[in-house]
Chain A
Amino acid sequence: MRALFDFHGMSAMIYKEARHILREPMTLALVIAMPFMQLLIYGYAINLRVEHVPAVYYSEDAGRLSDEFVTALQSSGEFDILSRVNSPQALREAIVAGKAHVGFDIPENFSADILRDKPTPVQVLVDGSQSNIAQVASAAAVQIGAAMALRLRGVSDQPEAIDVRPMILFNPSLRTPNFLVPGLIGLVLQNITMVLMALSIVQERTRGTLDQVLVTPIGTTALLLGKLVPYGVVGFFDFMLVLVMMRNIFDVPIAGNIFVLLVLGAGFLMTSLGLGLLVSTYAQSQIQALLITAFFVIPSVMLSGMFFQIELMPKAMQVVSYALPLTYFLELLRGIIVRGATLGDLWVPAVATIFFGLLALGLASLRFARTAG
């Protein structure tokens, strides 16, 4: 057996490893840039507070106090009042479609009731698909109502004059799995298929088997599709498996149309496979492929809106967020699974998902054809 404490030859090992590291400048650059990027994201982009929650309102009130209430909501910084909608149904629709997380329903006699010292109820619809936002937004709405009533003491001495009643939609008990699991499905799907695809091609290149294939009359498209389809099937099987797990182990029901979900999931698989292919055209080794993939995964986790509100990120980070395919797929997953949204509600993220799929595959194929000789 070799002795454990024997330091002879260490300089040789250090010399060799240092050479390995310096020989691959791309690996070195990735390793240096990785903590830089992580720190930037963690320190700069992540905001654990919940503020500026996108909201809409509906008002039947003719008096000035309802306007004052809306102004109070807006100026609190807790809510970003996006628009006034035309019906109580439209409040719900805006939330289902993912345009707003909160909807305020201001009743007909809001101003008059307050002036008559009569408590007036304000119904607040809250999107339960993001439980962290729902919790904070509900509390904030109640607080703003109470504060306004207090301020109006000259008019009414009842602090409960504005009776804000939050109603959590879709996930009334604010269960965490309903919020996290649909998002994780997207992340898992992206990472697995991207890594598999990238490694599979890099491995063929480093072993020389790719050259052996390239001297055969297999066409470029055939080669690419022949690579993509089997991994696409594996990815799709994974997708269905995690949906079944989500439904049966985590008790998260699928409120919307599962067929639409599966079709859009296939669209997202195109993106992640295309990204894997793209990574393979840059990576010279399997380690590099893994590092480049990790470079993509970290922003996907932190900036896609999976855990943190995109609206609160600095503008530059928001640009990155909206350039991430996962941001849109996440919107689709939460929309369809938790909120029961339809394709009509979610056409923007749906189009974006398909667009990214075609873009990733197209770019990757072009680069592959150019670099494969």
Chain B
Amino acid sequence: MKTAAIALNGLTKYYGSRPVVDDVTFSVASGSIFGLLGPNGSGKSTTIKMLCGLLLPTAGSAYIDGLDVVTRGMAVRWRIGYMAQAYTMYDDLTVDENLEFFARAYRLSANQRRQRKQDVVALTGIEPFLNMRSALLSGGCQRRLALASALLHDPPIVFLDEPTAGIDPVARRDLWDLFFRLAEGGKTFFVTTHYMDEAERCSEVGYIFDGKLIACGTSAALRQLASVNRPDTRRYAIDAEEPMPTFAAVRNLSYVRDATIFGRELHVLVESTTSVQQLASDLKKFAPAEAIRRVDPSLEDVFVTLTRERDA
């Protein structure tokens, strides 16, 4: 069997007596983009930091390319690139100086340095800014520089901790296109994110809540989870010009178990005996006629359901 690029086995981290990452087990196949999702403070960054050797696990183990992250930390470092959640390049150095530093850190020869810098600069599109101090770059360019630094030594596995936080939608899309191109080239990406649309693009997704991994698999598999698609329920999408009044209305209907707003669409979980017609006629009392159709759960529906279950 092929060794997983990343494997976690009961990985646990305590801060004092509080578990921040609690007995997390999963693995990531080589060449895939794995998305770790979860609300703020759920343990995503702590997990990444343990995998990158920046924090020691309290219990459990983790392997990168089959190497134990604790006992083979140095060997692991050659195989991984890491882009932190915060911007962690040197503000007072230029783009080129930052790249030069990290290239030297990976002991690349002068020729390799020149070549690799050229490669990553071309890949991330930061040529125009090479001589600019990195503090002056836009948020999107700073993320690109951080990514370029993480890729300098051509690592097979790249960890990205909320790589698109705080950047504009176009820059976000460009960055993801880049991840796809690199993943096609065989690199494994481990990405944490808040964005559901990003999660939908991952080959596999893990959902971590309160330190515990509560779901893991392809997004198609997660949508089919029995706990999300209970036989006594149905899920409808309602198009709503003004979702708030509709949202307030549906929540008062006795057969509605749950409702969530997605932009101008409402996802409503109702008892399976409820028909489209019944829902439509009930809604007419509150709002103009709106299009209603039966839908499969979105990834967000999956996570909302799982989180509510966990809370209950």
CA distance A212 to B80 in the complex (A): 12
Residue in contact with B82 in the complex, picked from A212, A217, A218, A373, CB distance below 8 Å: A212
Contact A373 B55 (CB under 8 A): yes
Q: Would A218 and B55 be within 8 Å (CB), given that A212-B82, A212-B84, A212-B88 are in contact?
A: no
A211 on the interface (CB 8 Å rule)? yes
CA distance A215 to B88 in the complex (A): 12
Q: Would A215 and B78 be within 8 Å (CB), given that A209-B90, A373-B53, A373-B54 are in contact?
A: no
A11 on the interface (CB 8 Å rule)? no
Interface residues of B in 104-144 (CB under 8 A from A): 105-107
Using Cβ atoms and an 8 Å threshold, which residues of chain A touch B106? 216-217
A213 on the interface (CB 8 Å rule)? yes
Residue in contact with B88 in the complex, picked from A209, A217, A219, A373, CB distance below 8 Å: A209
Residue of A nearest to B107 (CB): A217
For A186-229 the 0/1 string (1 means CB < 8 A from B) is 00000000000000000000011101111111110000000000
Number of A-B pairs, beta carbon distance below 8 Å: 45
Specify the main secondary structure of chain B where it touches its partner. Answer: loop
Contact B105 A218 (CB under 8 A): yes
Using Cβ atoms and an 8 Å threshold, which residues of chain B touch A212? 82, 84, 88-89, 149
CA distance A298 to B218 in the complex (A): 62
Interface residues of B in 31-90 (CB under 8 A from A): 49, 52-56, 74, 77-78, 80, 82, 84, 86-90
CA distance A213 to B88 in the complex (A): 9
**Distance in Å: Cβ of A209 to nearest Cβ of chain B:** 5
Using Cβ atoms and an 8 Å threshold, which residues of chain B touch A213? 105
Residue of A nearest to B55 (CB): A373
B102 on the interface (CB 8 Å rule)? yes
Using Cβ atoms and an 8 Å threshold, which residues of chain B touch A217? 74, 77-78, 105-107
Contact B77 A211 (CB under 8 A): no
Using Cβ atoms and an 8 Å threshold, which residues of chain A touch B80? 215
Using Cβ atoms and an 8 Å threshold, which residues of chain A touch B88? 207-209, 211-212
Q: Would A211 and B54 be within 8 Å (CB), given that A216-B77, A217-B74 are in contact?
A: yes
Using Cβ atoms and an 8 Å threshold, which residues of chain B touch A214? 53-54
Contact A211 B84 (CB under 8 A): yes
Residue in contact with B56 in the complex, picked from A207, A219, A373, CB distance below 8 Å: A373
- Given contact pairs A209-B89, A214-B54, A216-B102, enumerate 15 new A-B contacts (beta carbons under 8 Å): A207-B88, A208-B86, A211-B82, A211-B84, A212-B82, A212-B88, A212-B89, A215-B77, A215-B80, A215-B82, A216-B106, A217-B107, A218-B105, A373-B54, A373-B55
Closest 3 CB pairs of A and B: A216-B105, A208-B88, A212-B88
**Can you show 26 pairs from A to B with CB atoms below 8 A apart?**
A207-B86, A207-B88, A208-B84, A209-B89, A209-B90, A211-B49, A211-B54, A211-B82, A211-B88, A212-B84, A212-B88, A212-B89, A215-B52, A215-B53, A215-B54, A215-B77, A216-B105, A216-B106, A217-B74, A217-B77, A217-B78, A217-B106, A217-B107, A219-B74, A373-B53, A373-B55
